[in-house]
Structure 1
Amino acid sequence: MANPKEGGLIKKGQQDGLKLAVSILEENGLPLGLLPLADVIEVGFVKTTGYMWILQTKKVEHTFKLIKKQVSYDTEITGYVEKKRIKKLKGVKAKELMLWPPVNDISVDDPPTGKIQFKSLAGITKTFPEEAFAAVLPHDGG
């Protein structure tokens, strides 16, 4: 089997990696706050296949305050990015009651309705307002 990372653009480190991740989301019409990453080691993207991978030093748990949804991002996140969608996503889980079903497909409605859908392998589909995943700008704590 061919290496899915072959021919990919690779950026190392938090700053460059995050920049690449955000530009991939932006180019594909996805909310920029979808991947709240910390301590990025590497981000890669293969334009021809849409394959993206993210390596970070530790798991990140993030709560999207607007929808009160807790999401866990593993040390390795992979998926295929296309217009308005990430499919075959691995490494992302959203808390549902006491369970953490893996999210494997994210899509933004096209034409835009302001909604974004998350599907899990368990067959659970959740729809949220897209603005819940808007980029969170760093603030000074004030």
Structure 2
Amino acid sequence: MSQVSAEMKAKSEVYHGDELCQEKTKLLLKEVGLPNGLLPLKDIEECGYEKESGFVWLKQKKTINHKFEKIGKLVSYATEITAFVEVGKIKKLTGVKAKELLIWVTLNEIFVDDPPSGKITFKTPTALFRTFPVSAFVIEEPVKELKNKEEKEEEKQVKQVGNAVEVQEV
């Protein structure tokens, strides 16, 4: 049974399709100051965000497991994930479990400690927690190459140096 009601959808931004939902998910994570690789989902069918309460949801075709190689942890993402987001924090998280030793542990809160420390903490409903470096959940995004010479020309900055003009590539 879905936790996302028709009433909630009516007052939310709702998007459909994997490519658009991937983009919106990464944008939301960036806006709230969380690492962009925190939700490595595949085949997202729908995502939504209700700004007033911070409620978000993601629906994907099937449950997926993802191993975060930098920390050696396996995480399971259900077909529906819901949460409330605010700057630096995800609360009341549903649909996400992490494997600890031989058991799957439900996660219900994720937060970034004081940003300079670069630490991210994952909590369970039983108040157990684990802290890792934020860098373990960051995906390096490829730099988009400029498509044509005109775009390159627009990127040049002209800087006045005395009576001479110096052109620098950015």
TM-score relative to the length of structure 2 = 0.77
- Verify the 8 A CA contact 1:101 1:122 in the aligned structure 2: no
Match of 2:58 among 42, 54, 68: 54
Kindly tell me the number of residue pairs found equivalent between the two proteins. 138
Deviation at 1:136, TM superposition (A): 5.5
> Superposition RMSD on alpha carbons, in Å?
1.7
Deviation at 1:137, TM superposition (A): 5.0
Deviations 1:25-78 (A, max 9, x none): 000000000000100000100111110000000011000000000000000000
Mapped to 2, the partners of 1:112 and 1:47 lie a distance apart of: 27
Unaligned regions of 5+ residues in structure 1, if any? none
Mapped to 1, the partners of 2:69 and 2:136 lie a distance apart of: 7
C-alpha distance 93-115 of structure 1, shift in aligned 2 (>3 A)? same
2:120 corresponds to 1:116: yes
2:40 corresponds to 1:40: no
- In structure 2, the residue matched to 1:74 is 78
Deviation at 1:7, TM superposition (A): 1.1
- In structure 1, the residue matched to 2:24 is 20
- Identity in percent: 46
The higher radius of gyration belongs to: 2
More helix by share: 2
- In structure 1, the residue matched to 2:154 is none
Mapped to 2, the partners of 1:10 and 1:22 lie a distance apart of: 15
Q: What secondary structure does 1:67 align onto? A: coil
- In structure 1, the residue matched to 2:132 is 128
